[in-house]
Chain A
Amino acid sequence: MTDEEINTEILLDHYRNPHNHGQIGDASEKLIEFNPVCGDTVQLTIKIENDTISDIKFIGRGCSVSQGSASMLTDRVKGMKIEEIKKIKEKDILSMLGLNLGPSREKCALLSLNALNKCIENHEKKAQGGN
């Protein structure tokens, strides 16, 4: 098997049996990210304690790339410091997937990272607001 085939298998495994799937009842942040072009949707709920993501769950629907990458991303950031998460770049997600995606499908791959970044932004705005 080529690397591409192995990575496709890994992605499909996440797609079929997603990790961190569901919703957190008492989430610190909740956000829906949507791609109008293909209808891919990811909803994140995250719990932030001591500047750390103590828990993260997602539900969503769409192609294997958008949903599989959400499963992989949530695995990766659970327990991570916010400051560390902010350093995750788009290319890190693409190399995590290890697939040769075209530009249109890269948008699918980055859907959950965008959602996560917006969650963190919202959280920080709230913190700055002092409440």
Chain B
Amino acid sequence: MRSWQQIKGDFPFFIENGKNLIYLDNAATTQKPKKVIDAIVDFYTHWNSNVHRGIYRLSEEATDHYEKARKNIAGFIGSRDPRQLVFVRNATEALNLLAYSLGHGLQKGDEVLLTIMEHHSNIVPWQFLKEKGVTVNFADINPDGTLDMEDFQSKLTKKTRIVSATHCSNLLGTINDARKMGKLAHDNGSIFILDAAQSVPHMPVDVEKLDCDFMAFSGHKMLGPMGIGGLYGKYELLNGLPPFNGGGEMIREVYEDHSTYADAPEKFEAGTPNVAGAIGLSSAVDYLRDLGMEDIRRHEKDLIAYTLRKEEESGIGLLKSYGPRNPEIRGGIYTFNLGEISPISLSDDLNNSNISIGSSIHPHDVASGLDRYNVAVRAGHHCAMPLTHRLNVVATSRASYYIYNSREDIDKLFESLERIRRLYA
């Protein structure tokens, strides 16, 4: 088998522009292998035509490619029935679709249960339902960054109609026990939704084993192109939902005064779909399957374990990181600060003692400093502002790994952090 570093050779980005770049922002988006880029070019070069409507051969071939992609990607996440996979733009769109369509059936007083570690995409769409009188609750975390199951269970009430939770936190890296959460939700009579944007790219995920009702993921975080993602739903539930967008493709018949709708998945795919995107994502899935999801998970587990060891050995006194320290329940995400800066309340009278940051180095300075050493990390709240504030910090820096990262990249990260610490001392 090829080494993980040899894999870099499959990615034009690392051969050209990113030759000397240590790319550690994979939780945001991943680079694309040549195979994926070629699949997209191939579609536009040879098969470009609209799907599901042409009576001519070319359109039928394009439709065939599109539906084969659906079957391939559905199989990759463990869905035997490809009709259970709706193509969407990304996980965000999948979650908006669910909040909108499931929201139709909710009433004043109903509750939605989330966790405090959710990405904004799994918070804001549910907040839209507040207008209907729906309450949004958040299960808290333990000090070690794992989900507080006691709190989760106490907030799972008779009124909880929907539980929507992340499989893997994009900030803490915490891998939640989705099976257990789903079981608790189902025993309570609630729908269980899994935000798998940070798990499907990094570990084996099987919707049937997890027994989630719906699941959302993004293609661009798993080597695929931007603008394509998936919404999985158990067929009966999915097909029972009212549509999200209206337009062509999603209808059966349209009259002046009413329309009837196609069955899922077409029901949720109004307008010309991202056919090239679906084909690109299908190619990415082939690539990941060849590498083996078990091996990818093992590789990332090694990287995070190495990171945590390196952190302890580094002796950088200011360094503080977040998330579980057990690699078994931790994805390849390392979120840290060089000294913590707590949020301030602007209603207080500011004076230098309550706003001083002491020897802490702001995450923006950390990320800019790392950038100067060609290490790309993200700094900010990572679209998880409630969690960032729960951690009592204004922001954090985050390194997130993927298949082409190596222990050498992590060595470079810590070397650079030490240089930044010295620069600001």
* Chain B residues whose CB sits within 8 angstroms of the CB of A59 once the complex forms: 350-352, 355
The reply to whether B395 and A39 form a contact with Cβ atoms under 8 Å apart is yes
The reply to whether B394 and A38 form a contact with Cβ atoms under 8 Å apart is yes
Knowing A37-B380, A59-B355, say if A43 contacts B364 (CB, 8 Å). Answer: no
Partner of A61, one of B341, B363, B365, B379: B341
Other contacts beyond A39-B394, A65-B364: 9, CB < 8 A: A32-B350, A34-B346, A38-B363, A38-B380, A38-B395, A39-B344, A60-B355, A61-B356, A62-B364
Interface string of B409-425 (1 = CB under 8 A from A): 00000000000000110
The reply to whether A43 and B424 form a contact with Cβ atoms under 8 Å apart is no
CA of A27 to CA of B355 in the docked complex: distance in angstroms?
A: 20
CA of A93 to CA of B90 in the docked complex: distance in angstroms?
A: 39
Chain B residues at the A interface, C-beta cutoff of 8 Å: 341, 343-344, 346, 350-352, 355-357, 362-365, 368, 379-381, 394-395, 423-424
The answer to whether A105 has its CB under 8 Å from any CB of chain B is yes
Q: Smallest CB–CB gap between A29 and chain B, Å?
A: 15
* Chain B residues whose CB sits within 8 angstroms of the CB of A21 once the complex forms: 352
* Chain B residues whose CB sits within 8 angstroms of the CB of A7 once the complex forms: none
The answer to whether A77 has its CB under 8 Å from any CB of chain B is no
Contacts A/B (CB < 8 Å), 9 sampled: A21-B352, A38-B362, A38-B395, A41-B355, A61-B355, A63-B362, A65-B365, A65-B368, A105-B364
CA of A60 to CA of B395 in the docked complex: distance in angstroms?
A: 16
Q: Smallest CB–CB gap between B195 and chain A, Å?
A: 23
Q: Smallest CB–CB gap between A13 and chain B, Å?
A: 12
CA of A106 to CA of B162 in the docked complex: distance in angstroms?
A: 42
The reply to whether A39 and B346 form a contact with Cβ atoms under 8 Å apart is no
Partner of B341, one of A23, A39, A108: A39
Within 8 A of B (CB), among A1-47: 12, 21-23, 32, 34, 37-41, 43
* Chain A residues whose CB sits within 8 angstroms of the CB of B395 once the complex forms: 38-39
The answer to whether A52 has its CB under 8 Å from any CB of chain B is no
Partner of A12, one of B344, B357, B364, B424: B424
The reply to whether B362 and A62 form a contact with Cβ atoms under 8 Å apart is yes
The answer to whether A64 has its CB under 8 Å from any CB of chain B is yes
Interface string of A96-112 (1 = CB under 8 A from B): 00000000010010000
CA of A108 to CA of B341 in the docked complex: distance in angstroms?
A: 16
The reply to whether B355 and A38 form a contact with Cβ atoms under 8 Å apart is no
Knowing A22-B352, A32-B350, say if A41 contacts B344 (CB, 8 Å). Answer: yes
The reply to whether A41 and B346 form a contact with Cβ atoms under 8 Å apart is yes
The reply to whether B423 and A12 form a contact with Cβ atoms under 8 Å apart is yes
Q: Which of chain A's residues has its CB closest to B362's CB?
A: A63
CA of A23 to CA of B354 in the docked complex: distance in angstroms?
A: 14
Q: Smallest CB–CB gap between B230 and chain A, Å?
A: 30
* Chain A residues whose CB sits within 8 angstroms of the CB of B365 once the complex forms: 63-65
* Chain A residues whose CB sits within 8 angstroms of the CB of B364 once the complex forms: 38, 40, 62-63, 65, 105, 108
The reply to whether B350 and A43 form a contact with Cβ atoms under 8 Å apart is yes
Q: Which of chain A's residues has its CB closest to B368's CB?
A: A105
CA of A127 to CA of B341 in the docked complex: distance in angstroms?
A: 39
The reply to whether B351 and A23 form a contact with Cβ atoms under 8 Å apart is yes
Q: Smallest CB–CB gap between A10 and chain B, Å?
A: 14
Partner of A64, one of B343, B362, B379: B362
* Chain A residues whose CB sits within 8 angstroms of the CB of B350 once the complex forms: 32, 41, 43, 59
* Chain A residues whose CB sits within 8 angstroms of the CB of B424 once the complex forms: 12, 64
CA of A105 to CA of B357 in the docked complex: distance in angstroms?
A: 19
Knowing A12-B424, A63-B362, A63-B365, say if A39 contacts B352 (CB, 8 Å). Answer: no
CA of A22 to CA of B381 in the docked complex: distance in angstroms?
A: 29
CA of A37 to CA of B351 in the docked complex: distance in angstroms?
A: 22
CA of A115 to CA of B341 in the docked complex: distance in angstroms?
A: 22
